[in-house]
Amino acid sequence: MVASNVTVFAGVSLFVFGAIFGSGVTALSWRLPRGMSWVHGRSRCPACSHVLGPLDLVPILSWALARGRCRYCGVRVSPRYPLIELMCAAWAVLAWTRLGLVPELLPVLLWGWLLVALTVIDLDFKLLPDALTLPGTVLAVIAALLGPGAQHALLGMVVGSGYLWLFAWIWRVFLKREGMGGGDIKLAAMFGALLGPVGAFLTISFAAFAGALAGGLLMARRRGDLRSELPFGTCLAPAAMAVFLWGDRAVEAYLSLVRH
């Protein structure tokens, strides 16, 4: 019973901790691509510029209690804010469930939260800032060194970034178009360092499948506009998080099918 209570307390604490960091991720993903400091300055309503108070900044609850509207001007507030906070909270709990309370948990949590920020920024601006991918790579290396996957960190970076670099080169040489940005290649180094070569390959494969599916849906809605560009980072970052959590099970399931 005591152990069960401790587990529940740890899970709830991590959920709250993740939601608080999720609030920071929303600020980071809004301010960084706009050239604003995400450390200094008070949060404001994007519509009326009213400075938000403590009651407006409680993760998830503030948005829900205000029924998704600004308390000062009544303008509807996007549900993306509580969704980002929920994603970060869920990541904290799931990563803890995957690893336990071990030294590498903290850098893994920060790595995942940066991936959430990169997903949002790439979706809005088709941009993967070095200010996030480079620290994310450092965090991935630290987590790998603290965990059992240190020997695969460098190879994972080479496989991940090298595979996308080769794809970009082929696309540019033969199709005379830019098919992959430098940010995607740096992002691949970020997740490859933690996931290793197999995890990097799985991430790119899952992201490519998701990207093809999403691209097909976009083309159908736009009546076959082949020139529309899909930011690949919005597929790579969530795929990397999924592979970290469930990649081992995916590999085991595949090997089980092959053997039978």
> How many CB atoms are closer than 10 A to CB 40?
7
How much of the chain, in percent, has pLDDT values that exceed 70? 92
Q: What region does 76 belong to: left with phi over 0, alpha with psi -120 to 50, or beta? A: beta
Query: Which of the pair, 120 or 255, is modelled with greater confidence?
Result: 120
pLDDT band of residue 124 (cuts 50, 70, 90) is: very high
pLDDT digit string, tens, across residues 152-192: 899 999 999 999 998 888 877 776 666 677 899 999 999 99
Query: Which of the pair, 38 or 68, is modelled with greater confidence?
Result: 68
Beta partners for 69?
Answer: 76
* H-run or E-run covering 83: helix 80-99
**Nearest-CA neighbor of 135 among 190, 66, 200?**
190
pLDDT band of residue 1 (cuts 50, 70, 90) is: low
Q: What region does 73 belong to: left with phi over 0, alpha with psi -120 to 50, or beta? A: alpha
Q: pTM to 2 decimals? A: 0.92
Residue with tokens 């005591």: 2
* The pLDDT of residue 226: 46
User: Averaged over 211-215, what is the pLDDT?
Assistant: 83
* The pLDDT of residue 224: 47
Mean pLDDT of the chain: 88
**pLDDT above 80 (res 254):** no
pLDDT digit string, tens, across residues 130-159: 999 999 999 999 999 998 878 889 999 999
Kindly give the interhelix angle for 130-146 and 182-221, rounded to the nearest 10 degrees.
Answer: 110
